[in-house]
Amino acid sequence: MVGRLGSAGVICDAKVRRAMLAVERHLFLPDSMREVAYIDRPLDIGHGQTISAPHMVAIMASMLDLSPGMRVLEVGGGSGYHAAVMAELVRPGGKVFSIERIEGLARTAKANLARSGHDDVVQVLIGDGSKGLPEEAPFDRISVAAAAPDVPEPLIEQLADGGMLLIPVGGALSQELMMIRKVGGKIIKKKVCGVMFVPLVGEHGHNV
């Protein structure tokens, strides 16, 4: 899988390649899906959610420019795969806080991360990711794996100066991956590419 993504020009960063090779995607899927675990497409993980396609995980990891010691907030943890890849990139000394609103998925992610050996770096929490995690802020990087109509203000507030936020913005049919940087207190927004993610849902079950 990693070789194919490299040949296609998706993975050009050596550290992202090493991280993707180190994380076994089948550990983050039901055993019945092992045969399709290394196909480059999103896969259903239940509860109306998906595990992102490997190419999207690689693209977001590359764009986030993660390095050892960084504190990362992930919104929409799913089964834990993306958090594990980021954990590889922030070791040693870094921390990934992964928020998942669906309790069953959060429990599964915790078990998956323990099985893959990343539970020492990733802390899984159950909650409304659109509110961020103020008690652990500020964050060097924020990665959002669900689409919102606009960027939730708490996430911008919790971004460290010099930090970066990646988030899909848009509706069900049209979304753009947005890169947001905070530089000297100034917010700089840039559209990256078209994407398709499940919607970001708040605490009362409504789309954010």
- Quick one: 54 exposed, middle or buried, by C-beta within 10 A (0-12, 13-18, 19+)? buried
pTM exceeds 0.85 for this model: yes
Report d(CA 16, CA 21) in Å as an integer.
8
> Tens-digit pLDDT profile for the chain (208 aa)?
999 999 999 999 999 999 999 999 999 999 999 999 999 999 999 988 899 999 999 999 999 999 999 999 999 999 999 999 999 999 999 999 999 999 999 999 999 999 999 999 999 999 999 999 999 999 999 999 888 889 999 999 999 999 999 999 987 777 899 999 999 989 999 988 777 777 787 654 444 4
Dist CA 148 CA 197 (whole Å): 9
Domains for the chain: give ranges and CATH numbers: 2-195 (3.40.50.150)
Active site (catalytic) residues: 52
The pLDDT, as a whole number, for residue 33 is 94
